[in-house]
Chains A and B, each alone.
Chain A
C-alpha cells in the first residue's frame, strides 16, 4: 500500500458515492439499535428500492444525541430526523429531493453549536465495517505519510508540541510517555490500547471503537512507529461484543490492505494488532493490572516504579494509552501540532468527548473543546435538567471522581480545574443529578462499587472501602452518628494515601467531594433522620426514636 494507492481507493469511493443522489445515514449504535434501528434500516432499503430513486442507505456509528434516537440524517441536505421508526421509511424516501418530512425533523442546533468534532469527526458519516469508507475520509493518510516522511523522534516531537494529554483520566502528557518508551532499552516493545471502559456510566470508548475502529488502529500503528514497537494489543471489555467484532473485522481488513503486517508501505516498519478480551474487572483499567490481565492472570496491580514504559508486558517496555488518546493521533499528524494546540485551555489542549447522561434533556455523546464551561455543557449542549426539577450536581470521573455542585458550574473544563474542585476529568462520564438524588446515597453507591471491585491485594483499599461502606450504610439507614462521620472522614484520608493503585487512591473522592459541597445532607441524615431528596428509607430509625 502506498499513498497513491490510498488516494485511488478514496477516489473510487467518492465516485461510487457520486452515483447516488441522496445518502440516508441510519445511526445503528447501541442506543438506537435498542429502539429497532435495524428494522428501520431494512424498511428504508426496501422503500428506496421500490421508489427507484438513487439512494444510498448507510449504517453509521453514534451520531451523538441518543435521547432523540433512532436518528436518521439525510445528506447532502443534512436533514436530521429524530425518533424515527420503520413506519416512517416510505415518507422519508418520498421526501428525498423535496421538502423534509414535517414533524419528524429535529432542531438540535444549540446542541451541536458548541461542539467541535475531532475524535468523532467520522461518527455518523462512515460505515464502521468498511475500511474504504474510513480511507475516503483521509483515513490511514497520517500513518503512511508518517512512515515515509517523518522520523520516530519527529512524531514524538509533534505529539509533545500538540500538548495532547492522556484521555483515560490521569492526563499524563502523551508525548512524554511516548518519549519514555522510545528511549527504554529492549528489542521488543509493545503498544497497548486500553479499551477497558470500566467507569459505569460512560460509553465514549465503546462508541469510538464501534463507530470508527480504524481510527484507533491507525493511532496505535503510528504510536508503534514512534516508540519502536511491532506489536499492539487492544484490551476490550467483554461486555462490548459489538466493539470486539468491529475491531476484529477492522484488524483483518487493515491486514488485507497491507496497512498492518510486515513492511507497511514498503518501509522496514512492521506492526500488527491483536484483540484481547477483558472479563469484567474495573481494576483492569489500571495499567499494571491490565498488563497482568493480558498475560492471562488475575488483574492485580503492582507497585510502580518500574512503570510499564520501562517494564510492562512480559517485562518489555510497553506504551499504554486510552482509546480516545489513540483516536486523537491521526488528526494531529494530518494537521499541524498548532492546530490542535489552538483548541482548548492553556494546559489542557484539544477536545474531550463526554457521555452526558442522567437527569438531562439531551443524553448522548458530545465532543467539546477543553476549557468550555460546565454550565455550557449542561445547559446549552445538554439542554438542561428536564422541566419540573432543579439541577443539583454533576458527577465526573466515575467512581474515582466527584460531584460538582451548581455554584461551581462556571469553571472551565480542564484536567487541573476539575482536580481543584475535588473531582477528576476521568474518562469522560458526566452524570447529571437533580433534586431527586440523595448525595449520601450516591456516595454509598460509588463506595459499594469500589468495595466490590477492589482486587484485595492491599489492605487499605480492601478493608478501608468495606468500612467506609458500612459507615455510609449506617448514615443512610438513619442509625449513623456524628462520630461515624468523623471516622468516615478519617478513613477517607487513610485509604487515599495508603492504597497501592489508582482504584483505592481515588475511591474516597466521591465521599470527600459530597462532604465538601453537600455536608448538610449528611448532617440531615444523622441529626434529623431525614433524607432531603426522599431517597433513603429512614422510617425504621424514626420509629425507634418515637
Chain B
C-alpha cells in the first residue's frame, strides 16, 4: 500500500497544530472525523470550509462525508459565534417551566431568531437540547456558565450588560 502523507497545515496558525495533534493521536484513522471536528470547533469556535476541507483530506474521507457529518450533528456550527453566547435550554423540564417564553423574549430584545448572531457580532442566541440541569429549570447558559431558575428580568439584565460592554 502506498504510504500516505497528510497535507500541509493551512496556515501558520498554531491552532492547526492542535487539530493535527488530534488526528495524529488517532493515527489519521477515518473514525477520528467527529473527534477532529470537535477539536476544530473548540479551537476556532466554528467549522469553516477550509477546516472541513483540511480535515477531510487529512483523514482521507470524501468531502461530502465530512460536510455531511458537520451538518448532521447539532453541536457543530458552521457560522462564527458572537462575542457572547446566550444559550437557552429547550429540554422538556425547561419547556414546562416556560423556556419558550424566555426564547421569544430574547428574540424580541435582540431582534434575531434563535441560531443567529446580532449584526454587530456581539451576541449569539442559541437553544440547547438539555444540558442536564433539569432540576433547576428553566436553565440558561451565559457564555457556557449554567444559571438555573432564570427569570425574564435576570436574562434581560444579562443581555443589557453585554450590550453596553
Contact = CB atoms under 8 A, between A and B. Distances in A.
A239 B144 CA distance: 10
A506 to B, nearest CB: 15
A250 B155 CA distance: 36
A299 B146 contact: no
Given A357-B134, A363-B135, A295 B75 contact: no
A216 interface: no
Interface in B44-63: 61
A294 interface: yes
Interface in B119-155: 128-137, 139, 145-148
A455 B74 CA distance: 12
Contacts of A363: 93, 134-137
Contacts of B37: 279
Interface of A: 30-31, 33-35, 66-67, 197-203, 206-207, 238-240, 276-282, 293-299, 355-359, 363-365, 395, 398, 429, 431, 433, 437, 442, 445-446, 449, 455
B34 A277 contact: yes
Contacts of B61: 296
A446 to B, nearest CB: 8
Contacts of A197: 132
13 contacts: A30-B133, A31-B133, A34-B133, A34-B146, A197-B132, A199-B92, A200-B92, A200-B129, A201-B134, A279-B74, A357-B96, A358-B92, A446-B92
Given A206-B132, A239-B131, A296-B31, A279 B76 contact: yes
Could you say which interface size class chain B belongs to? 35 or more
Contacts of A442: 96
A31 B135 CA distance: 7
Interface string B75-97: 11000000000000011111111
Contacts of A429: 92, 134
B74 A357 contact: no
Contacts of A296: 29-35, 61, 69
Contacts of A202: 130, 132, 134
Contacts, number: 140
A365 B74 CA distance: 27
Nearest to A239: B131
Interface in B3-47: 29-35, 37-38
Contact of B92 (A35, A279, A282, A395): A395
A539 to B, nearest CB: 16
Contacts of B32: 296
B21 to A, nearest CB: 16
Contact of B146 (A30, A199, A293): A30
Contacts of A201: 91-94, 130, 134
Contact of B75 (A198, A239, A365): A239
B72 A281 contact: yes
Given A66-B135, A357-B134, A280 B74 contact: yes
Contacts of B139: 34
Nearest to B35: A277
Contact of B90 (A200, A240, A280, A357): A200
Contact of A34 (B65, B97, B147): B147
A459 B33 CA distance: 27
Given A200-B92, A294-B31, A298-B68, A238 B38 contact: yes
